């Protein structure tokens, strides 16, 4: 399997001039632990993680980070200082391409001790692969080495297209992995109706007996 088979394609990003408060708010809203930072041309220039925000809060207050996060003074400090994403982001971002194998991505995550890696094509951010995505792929393939057939790629693309064209289901937290014609659905959706729509989209293409639904609302 490759990055393109498991990556999140609707990635929440933030502009380099956005404030730290903006970054924290977006992380909470999208339920993510990191935000790629892009410039005006849409090019990936850095990444802001929870760790960056925690270090910022700790250095600002001199208190433990968890006390800082719940204290009103921390929110006031962040809001008043107006620190920008470009000031606290990690600039040396490790990235992969859509064709990078999952085994190579797993090696990178382990060797660099990071939780996720951006997927970049021609300088543009096209997706994100996390440790959880690797584990989901591992589970979907039974732990064995798996190279999806062209049909698997096509099934996944058709499910995504169907959801994009005929529903309003947000795809940002949705994970669709197809292996040997079997569709595995993971992620969080906003309502039971959204969960049903995702399930029905998959079942309409491969049949109910080939859909493994692990979605949560």
pLDDT band at 59; cut points 50, 70, 90: low
- Tell me the two tokens of residue 204: 């309409």
Task: Calculate Rg over the CA atoms of the chain.
Answer: 19
CATH class, 1-142 region: alpha beta
Domain ranges across the chain: 1-142, 148-217
Rounded percentage of the chain residues whose pLDDT exceeds 90: 9
* pLDDT digit string, tens, across residues 156-191: 888 888 888 888 888 777 888 888 888 888 878 888
Contact 161, 176 (CB under 8 A): no
Q: Whole-model pTM?
A: 0.62
* pLDDT digit string, tens, across residues 31-41: 788 899 998 88
Residues whose CB falls within 8 Å of the CB of residue 216, separated by 6 or more in sequence, listed in order: 187, 188, 189
Instruction: Tell me, yes or no, if the two domains 1-142 and 148-217 fold the same way.
Output: no
Say if domain 148-217 classifies as CATH 3.40.50.300: no
Measured at the CA of 176, the angle between CA 171 and CA 178, to 5 degrees, comes to 155
């Amino acid at each position: 399997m490759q990055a393109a088979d498991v990556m999140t394609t609707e990635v929440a990003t933030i502009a380099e001039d956005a404030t730290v408060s903006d970054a924290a708010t977006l992380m909470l809203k999208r339920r993510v632990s990191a935000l790629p930072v892009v410039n005006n041309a849409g090019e990936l220039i850095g990444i802001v993680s929870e760790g960056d925000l925690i270090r910022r809060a700790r250095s600002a207050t001199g208190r433990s980070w968890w006390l800082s996060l719940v204290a009103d003074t921390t929110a006031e400090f962040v809001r008043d200082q107006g620190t920008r994403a470009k000031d606290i982001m990690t600039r040396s971002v490790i990235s992969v391409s859509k064709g990078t194998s999952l085994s190579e991505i797993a090696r990178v995550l382990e060797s660099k001790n990071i939780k996720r890696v951006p997927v970049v094509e021609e300088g543009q951010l096209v997706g994100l692969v996390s440790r959880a995505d690797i584990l989901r792929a591992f589970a979907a393939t039974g732990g064995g080495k798996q190279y999806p057939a062209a049909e698997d790629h096509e099934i996944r693309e058709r499910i995504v297209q169907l959801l994009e064209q005929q529903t309003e289901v947000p795809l940002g937290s949705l994970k669709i992995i197809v292996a040997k014609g079997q569709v595995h659905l993971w992620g969080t959706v906003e309502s039971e109706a959204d969960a049903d729509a995702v399930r029905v989209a998959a079942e309409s293409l491969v049949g109910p007996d080939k859909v493994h639904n692990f979605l949560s609302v």
